[in-house]
Structure 1
Amino acid sequence: MTLPTGIDEQTAPTLSAPPHVGFVRQVSESLVVLTIAVLAFRLFVAEGYLISTGSMAPSLLGYHKQVECPACHYQFASGVLVDDDETDTQTGKVQAQDLQGDVDAPAESVCPNCGLHHIATNALPRNEGDQLMVHKHAYEFRDPRRWEVIVFKNPSDPLQAYVKRVVGLPGEVVAIRDGDIYINDLLQPRSLEAQRGMAILVDDHDHEPKDDPEWHPRWIVNRPDSGWQTNGRTFVIDAPPTGSRAAASDDELGPQPLPDFDWLTFRHWIRSGGRHVTTVPLSNWPRSGGFPPAVGSVKYDLDLRQLSAIGVVDDEQVAMWEQRSNDPVFLRALRQLAAASHEAPIVDEYGYNKSRDGDATFIVRDLLCSFDLVSRTGNGIAAVSIDDGEDRYIVHLDFARGVAGVRESGQNRDLQETVVDLPRGETVSVEFSLIDRQLLVAIDGKTLFAPIAKSDRQSHEPPAPTRPISIGAAGGSFEIRALKVFRDVYYTPKSDNTLLRRMKDDEFFVLGDNSPVSVDSRCWDDPAVKRQNLVGKPVVVHLPSQQGKLSLFGETRFVRIPDFSRVRYIR
């Protein structure tokens, strides 16, 4: 063996395997090193915060209960009202001062997916809120960007921290109009990634109720000879052969029509409630019905000759009128009204919040839809249509040509067209949104076109659609899976419908995603968050917990266990 110069062979160390270290010692040393690393990381880089309230729900959760809807089996978080005394004294808690309602009231929830009311939650255990790992130095070299989530100190109580989303930056004039954010009188659009981070579920077809006599499917076909069929939670179609731009016409689309698509349409069917108005024609009020009602949800307009209703006309109301009149024309109109009244515009409801009966709800036109698409034959055209009541856009995916295009209803040319990889037999993820008055389309997470911006809204408010989204097919065999519809956050007014604030050079304007209950820059006497009060940028939800059941000696207890499904990066 050759040794380094100057080392006596007799005294040279033996090059052999290191001495065996016991398992317990290895684990102990590893834990010590990990603890030191975590402490150093938290001391110099990051700090943990626990959210207690629901101002950012459902993207970030406060104290809540995990609920499973008995009708559709969709699992969701339902917020828990917490006394101020219970949380304000705990340093490090993220507060929002958005606690509303009676803490001692019976706990009931509404399913955000199928709308089932009166889901009892009293017996469910309470979970802690999301725990945030906050990067403390994120804003030492740059300011927060618009739409970022930030943690900041309460100016009146430095031990109390808030978590909100930044919408207004230093020096800007911030306004809220029709639920949207305007900066210096310009609407502020978001990227698709930002839209995903704020999206609120409206419908998950994988959780459509089964064996529920009250439920009516939300995805329906448009014509009696439709080729759409269901295979479990999957929609399938074998559309008749046709050319890429077949001779079948669609008068809406001008001289170069798209194919005659077989449409599968989403209707926003609701179980009950609502403040929408539904009307059906009725030439005369029946004599057997007594005087036309002046109050109540069902009314008759003598001048317009129409029957109308506010909200859903339920079976109890129909039965009441059936007892009052036997006129077949009236009863036919009444049943038609009752059926139509279940279709309503999408509004800013939150499954996280307690029922807000009597509070105003606002119509939400900004929607996002996602699904998985498979072309089994590699030809034909798939299409999606989205309508905000003002404009309708059709996105078409030509699998034979490998081309995607966007067309506005009434136009005879594509607004955008691009080459796209559309493989046969493989699943592609499709997303499209009409949010912030711009259309975005993505395949497998990548946007296909530059955003297509809509013109400014006219002075009048167009009727809101109850059937805003459709998926079509022509000349091919397709499968649709994992079909979901989301809505955008609607920033509700707290005083006036228009809020106008000018930020100083060191100020930020912040809002909570759970807009109806969040107390934020809309409500504070001083709406600004100053740069000196910034704590940092929350990066990840870590160490979340859930309640697990433990049965011991005939007794059932709930214990905290990890909930790794809630570990996620924060958008």
Structure 2
Amino acid sequence: MSKKKQAQPQGPLPSKLRELVESLAMAVLMAIGLKYFLVEAYSIPSPSMQPTLLGSNAAGAYDRILVNKAAYLLRAPQRWEIAVFRYPHNRSQNYVKRIVGLPGETLQIIGGDIYRRDAEGKLAILRKPKGLQDAFWRRIWHQDLREDPRADLGRSVHWDGDEIVLAATGSTTKSILLGNRESLRDHYWHGYPPSIEEAVKRDLGSPDNGYGRHSVGDLRISGELQLSSGWKRAFLRIAEQDSGQLNREIDLEITNKAGKSFARLSISGDGSRLEGEPTSRHQSQPVEIEAGTWIDMELWHWDDQIWAHVGGVELGPLPYSAPAVPLNDEAQVVARVGVSGAGARLRGLQLDRDQYYLAREAAGTDIKVPAHNYWMLGDNTQNSADGRSWATLSLSYDPKTKKLLRPGTGSARLVGNARVGSGDADENPVFVPEAQALVFTDLQGEEHVLKASYNEFLQMGYGGLQPRNDGGEGAQRYDRFVPEQYFLGRALAIFWPLGLGSPFRLSLIR
């Protein structure tokens, strides 16, 4: 009678299972490590950073971003970076904004730009580096969209398919204006992808919901130019004409004399002079331009500096000195492309504007950033709760009855974000009329119910929809800054959406 053979354990199988389990465990640990120490994904829920980061209810577009959590472990946060941080007035929430003010600085917003006081108390503009400026340009007009009917000017300036033809002859100059007086303002919808732009316009209503009031002179003209044989001169021009204190003109001029071409970048106007060259207002270089050949061209004006590119030649950036005076809201800003001596064709023309920061304070008000703190602003300056308006609210109450008391009375106090009557997701406190109560979220994100109606809240002295600067007990007080220890990381990239029913958004964040 034969005995049944007992199954013998095979050596390789447990070894492979063990390796598989170890690999899976390592993958899980690495994923956890990446999430908590290196990279984490966040969703953008609000429009405060648009159009850089979309959180648009109107368009149903919400970016998802990757955040480098190790970015600030070895170095301090830097100006113009987009960072994620715990909101100091509700530490259960994470916010994303751009770093504008650094520890110890005194700043002002003037004419849409950021200025800093130096050691002598003088204001100097903070210039964004050219390599970063691309992230700030917002499209106003593009030739391919045919948005400006003034491009149809008859025989001397007309459309030929997708190209614009400037039919200049002899000493005559023909030019085209890009945009118009109303479009060269800080309109809310500038810079959005076309599909999103239309949704944003519909959501705003008319007319621009009170936005678009400020003339913007920080512009970029770009496109391609094809010059005909016999051309003498071509130019790109940005001009600011203010009935008040500013008149300025920035020109990229290309000239052709005796078969030799030169590109010249210049600035002229009241109080504007290139820095480091007290007797000069221009820079020139030879450039090779062949008639009938398409050449790239660009003219930039931003943060009191100018730069140009034409036919493979760069001029600048050239910083210039100018008075810290904003453009009058009724100023005439002109962006123009022209040619003389012979005709030219234009294609891919585009006009962009720079970010225009809006001040929430009276003109001349300093923003003083404390040590170890940062001043954060949203890119959607017209619709962003940020360091211009952040405030705290302190409520006094009776811990036994949970009744709200007048400021400075009672034995208990709650401190939290001040967003009285904002009507948005961050409104604080939230009033419940049927219960004659309010719900207040404190600094830790915990909710508290106190007995008081909205009218009682106002009558007790907590009222006013705008924070006060007096710092009185119970008053809404400005508290604008983010301590360094609240930073969670630097925004690295948009990884969603990928264009499936939404605009393609995969890109690095700058």
| Shorter-chain TM band | 0.5 to 0.7
**1:228 aligned to 2:181?**
no
Structure 2 distance, partners of 1:63, 1:458, is 34
Contact 1:544 1:567 in 2 (8 A): yes
**Which amino acid in 2 is paired with 1:177?**
I
Q: 1:566 aligns with which of 497, 501, 505?
A: 505
- Select the residue among 209, 222, 228 that pairs with 1:370: 222
- 1:140/1:459 CA distance change after superposition, 3 Å: closer
Output the CA distance in 1 between the equivalents of 2:187 and 2:301.
16
2:93 is paired with a residue whose SS is: strand
Structure 1 residue 43: deviation in Å? 4.4
Q: 1:217 aligns with which of 145, 149, 156?
A: 149
Counterpart amino acid of 1:568?
A: S
Looking at structure 2, the residues matched to 427 and 38 of structure 1 have their Cα atoms a distance apart, in angstroms, of 50
Instruction: Report the Cα offset of residue 415 of structure 1.
Output: 1.4
Q: Secondary structure at the match of 1:484?
A: strand
- The separation in 2 between residues aligned to 1:511 and 1:410, in whole angstroms, is 32
1:388, 1:547 → 2: CA distance? 42
Mapping 1:529-568, distance limit 5 Å: 529-545=482-498, 548=501, 565-568=504-507
1:431 matches 2:298 = yes
Q: Quote the residue 1:406 is aligned against.
A: 265
Matched, 1:206 2:144: yes
Inter-CA distance 499–183: structure 2 relative to 1 (3 Å threshold) = same
In structure 1, the residue matched to 2:114 is 181
Q: Counterpart in 2 of 1:392?
A: 249
Alignment of 1:345-364 (within 5 A): 346-350=185-189, 351=197, 352=200, 354-355=204-205, 359=210, 361-364=212-215
Summarize the Cα distance change of 1:220–1:405 in structure 2 as closer, same or farther, 3 Å threshold.
Answer: farther
Give 3-state SS (helix, strand or coil) of 2:149's partner. Answer: coil
Q: For the structure 1 residues 505 and 402, does the alpha-carbon distance in structure 2 shift closer, same or farther, using more than 3 Å as the test?
A: farther
Determine whether 1:150 maps to 2:118.
no
Determine helix, strand or coil for the equivalent of 2:375: strand
Aligned match of 2:358 in 492, 495, 503?
492
- Asked whether the equivalents of residues 220 and 266 of structure 1 are also in contact (C-alpha less than 8 Å), the reply is no
Q: Is the 8 A contact 1:174 1:502 kept in 2?
A: yes
Q: 1:138 to 1:471 in 2, by over 3 A?
A: same
**Residues 35/420 of structure 1: CA separation in 2 closer, same or farther (3 Å cut):** farther
Q: Distance in 2 between matches of 1:348 and 1:469?
A: 17
CA distance in 1, matches of 2:44, 2:168: 50
Q: How does 1:145-544 map to 2 (within 5 A)?
A: 145-184=78-117, 185-208=123-146, 217-219=149-151, 227-237=156-166, 239-240=168-169, 261-268=173-180, 346-350=185-189, 351=197, 352=200, 354-355=204-205, 359=210, 361-365=212-216, 366-375=218-227, 377=229, 380-389=232-241, 390-398=247-255, 400-408=259-267, 415-422=282-289, 426-443=293-310, 447-456=314-323, 461=328, 463-465=330-332, 468-524=334-390, 525-544=478-497
Equivalent residues in 2 for 1:118-137 (5 A)?
126-127=60-61, 129-137=62-70
Per the alignment, in what secondary structure is the counterpart of residue 485 of structure 2?
Answer: helix
- For 2:222 and 2:63, the matched residues in 1 are separated by 26
Say if 1:142 and 1:443 are closer, same or farther in 2 by CA, change over 3 A. farther
Q: How does 1:16-165 map to 2 (within 5 A)?
A: 41-65=34-58, 78=59, 126-127=60-61, 129-165=62-98
Q: Aligned AA for 2:149?
A: P
In structure 1, the partner of 2:435 is: none
Distance in 1 of aligned mates of 2:159 and 2:80: 39
Q: Which has the higher strand share?
A: 2
Secondary structure class of the residue paired with 2:133: helix
User: 2: CA distance between counterparts of 1:376 and 1:438?
Assistant: 31
- The 8 Å contact of residues 250 and 265 in structure 2, kept in 1 or not, is answered as yes
User: Is contact 1:364-1:487 (8 Å) kept?
Assistant: no
Which consecutive residues of structure 2, in runs of 5 or more, have no partner in the other structure? 1-22, 118-122, 190-196, 242-246, 271-278, 391-477
Q: CA deviation at 1:386?
A: 0.6
- Paired residues in the alignment total 369
CA distances 1:136-167 after superposition (whole Å, capped 9, x unpaired) = 11122222222221111112333321111111
Distance 2:87 2:324 in 1: 38
SS in 2 for 1:388: strand
Distance (whole Å) between structure 2 residues aligned to residue 446 and residue 55 of structure 1: 38
**SS at the partner of 1:364?**
coil
Q: Is 1:380–1:474's contact at 8 Å kept on the other side of the alignment?
A: yes
Relative to structure 1, is the Cα distance of residues 428 and 165 closer, same or farther in structure 2, using a 3 angstrom cutoff?
Answer: farther
Task: For residues 165-223 of structure 1, give each alpha carbon's deviation from its aligned partner in whole angstroms, at most 9, with x where no partner exists.
Answer: 111111110111222211112111223343321222221221125xxxxxx614365xx
What's the secondary structure of 1:55's corresponding residue? helix
The separation in 1 between residues aligned to 2:288 and 2:31, in whole angstroms, is 45
> SS in structure 2 opposite 1:206?
helix
Q: What's the TM-score, normalizing by structure 2? A: 0.63
CA contact (8 A) 2:226 2:294 kept: yes
Per-residue deviation, residues 272-294 of structure 1 (Å, max 9, x unmatched): xxxxxxxxxxxxxxxxxxxxxxx
CA separation in 1, counterparts of 2:487 and 2:156? 57
**Gap change, CA 1:196 and 1:64, over 3 Å in 2:** farther
Do the aligned partners of 2:169 and 2:342 also contact (CA within 8 Å) in 1? Answer: yes
How far does residue 363 in structure 1 lie from its aligned partner after superposition? 1.2
What letter matches 2:236 in structure 1?
V
Residues 460/240 of structure 1: CA separation in 2 closer, same or farther (3 Å cut): closer
Q: Find the aligned partners of 1:203 and 1:536 in 2 and give their Cα distance.
A: 35
Shift of 1:475: 3.3
Across the aligned residues of Structure 1 and Structure 2, the Cα RMSD in angstroms comes to: 3.6
Alpha-carbon distance change, 441 to 543 in structure 1, aligned in 2, over 3 angstroms: same
Per-residue deviation, 1:408: 4.0
Contact 2:226 2:345 in 1 (8 A): yes
Change in Cα spacing, 1:34 to 1:175, as seen in structure 2 (3 Å) is same
Q: Which runs of 5+ in 1 are unaligned?
A: 1-29, 66-77, 79-125, 210-215, 242-247, 249-259, 270-342, 549-562
Given that residues 499 and 505 in structure 2 are in contact (C-alpha distance below 8 angstroms), is that contact kept between their aligned partners in structure 1?
Answer: no
AA of the residue aligned to 2:488: V
Which secondary structure state, in structure 2, belongs to the residue aligned with residue 516 of structure 1? helix
Partners in 1 of 2:298 and 2:144 — Cα distance? 17
For 1:266 and 1:435, the matched residues in 2 are separated by 18
Structure 1 residues 378, 544: CA separation in 2 closer, same or farther (over 3 Å shift)? farther
Structure 1 stretch 424-433 or stretch 366-375: which is displaced more? 424-433
